[in-house]
Amino acid sequence: MGKQHIVCGGSDNNMVRIIDKTTLATSGIITNLPSGVYSIDHDRNRLSHHHSDVTMIAATAGNHVYLLSNAPNKKD
C-alpha cells in the first residue's frame, strides 16, 4: 500500500475499507465491526524506509483497536 490506495472507515456498515485509487475497486474490507470506525492510521515510516509494499494499519471501533497488515502469511 502506498500512494495508490485510500484507507477509510465509517459507521454505515461499521467497516474499514481499502480502495485502489487507479480503479476505485475495493482491495480489502472488514465489515460488521461492533461499532463505527472513528480512527484510522497507518505506518508511514515503514512505507518510506522499506522497499516492500507491506503496511500496518490501525483502526479503532468502540473500545477495540484492530491491527491490519497486508503481509503475506508464512506457511509452515
Q: Is the dihedral of CA 64, 74, 47, 18 positive or negative?
A: negative
CA distance 62 to 65: 8
pLDDT of residue 43: 79
CB 1 within 8 A of CB 41: no
pLDDT tens digits along 7-39:
899 998 899 998 888 999 998 889 999 999 999
CA distance 16 to 38: 10
Reported confidence tier of residue 65, pLDDT bands at 50, 70, 90: very high
